[in-house]
Amino acid sequence: MREGLSAVGKVARPFQGRGRGAKSPALLIGISATLFVTVTAVAQSPPFGVGRPPTPEEIRELGSAIAPDGTGLPQGSGTVAAGRELFAAQCARCHGPGGEGDVGPRLVGGRGTLRTPRPLKTVGSFWPYATTLWDYVNRAMPFDQPGRLTPPEVYAAVAYVLNLNGIVAADAVMDATSLPKIRMPNRDGFVADPRPDLGSSPRK
C-alpha cells in the first residue's frame, strides 16, 4: 500500500501491527475479538454519514449492468427474425447488412484466426460471454443514439448477431434465462495476466 489513506486502513492497520508481535494465545484472542468488534462497528455505522439512500428513480435511470451469470438482465425476449429486421433498420448502416463491418467493426467471422498473423477478433471468434454483447448493445448502441433500444430490441439484436455467427439457431429466442446459458466459442480463450513476463536486469 503506497498512500492508502483510507478510513478502513486506519482502523485495521494498528491491529495488524500488534498481531505480528503477539505471542500469547490469550492476547491473540483478545486482538481477534477487538478486530471483530471494530469491523462490525465499521459495517454498522458509516464513519462520516454522508449521502443518502438512492431513490428508486435514480436506480431506474442508471440502467442495467449485466454480469456473465445473467445478473441484471431484464424481462423480455427477442427472436432472430425480429433481430434481422432491427439490424437492417438500425445497425447495418455502420456494421454492414450482414455484419461484415464498415464504419463500425465487423461482427462476424474470424473463427480459427486468433493464432494466425492476422487475427480477426469478432463477437463470434473472440468475445467470451454472450451477456457482454447484450450489455454493450444496451449501453452503447446505436453509436449516435445509445440507450434508445428497449430490452426486447436488445434481445433481438443479440439473437441475430449470435445467429450470424452460427452460435444460435434461426429459431432461437433470447431472454434472461437462455442468454447466460450460451457458451461462446472463445469462452476458454482468456488467461490471467502473468506480467512481469519480461524485464530482466540490464547488463552491467
Give the binding site for another protein (CB under 8 A).
Answer: 1-9, 42-44, 46-55, 58-59, 62-63, 65-69, 71, 103, 114-115, 117, 119, 121, 123, 126-129, 131-132, 135-136, 139-140, 143, 146-147, 189-202
Smallest separation (angstroms) from another protein to the CB of 183: 14
Return the number of the residue (26 or 62) whose C-beta is nearest another protein.
62
User: Nearer Cβ to another protein, position 64 or 81?
Assistant: 64
State which residue, 19 or 54, has the beta carbon closest to another protein.
Answer: 54
Instruction: Please enumerate in sequence order all residues whose Cβ is within 8 A of that of 15, keeping only pairs 6 or more positions apart, or say none.
Output: 31, 34, 35, 38
Closer to another protein by Cβ: residue 11 or 22? 11
Q: How far is the CB of 78 from another protein (least distance, A)?
A: 19
All three cell numbers of 18, joined, read 500488534
Query: Given the complex with another protein, which of 25 and 53 has the nearer CB atom?
Result: 53
Shortest Cβ 193–another protein spacing (Å): 5
CB atoms within 10 A of CB 13: 13
Rounded to an integer, what distance in angstroms lies between the CA atom of residue 122 and that of residue 109?
Answer: 7
CA–CA dist 107, 172 (Å, integer):
19
CB neighbour burial string for 143-177, b if at least 16 within 10 angstroms, e if fewer: eeeeeebebbbbbbbbbbbbbbbebbeeebbbbbe
Smallest distance from another protein to CB 23, Å:
29
If the CB atoms of residues 21 and 49 are measured against another protein, the closer one turns out to be 49
- Rounded Cα distance between 154 and 88, Å, is 14
CB within 8 Å of 155: residues ≥ 6 apart: 76, 77, 78, 83, 134, 174, 175, 179
Q: How far is the CB of 27 from another protein (least distance, A)?
A: 26
Shortest distance in whole angstroms from residue 92 CB to another protein: 16
Q: Could you tell me which residues come within 8 angstroms of residue 100 by beta carbon, excluding any fewer than 6 positions away? A: 106, 107, 108, 109
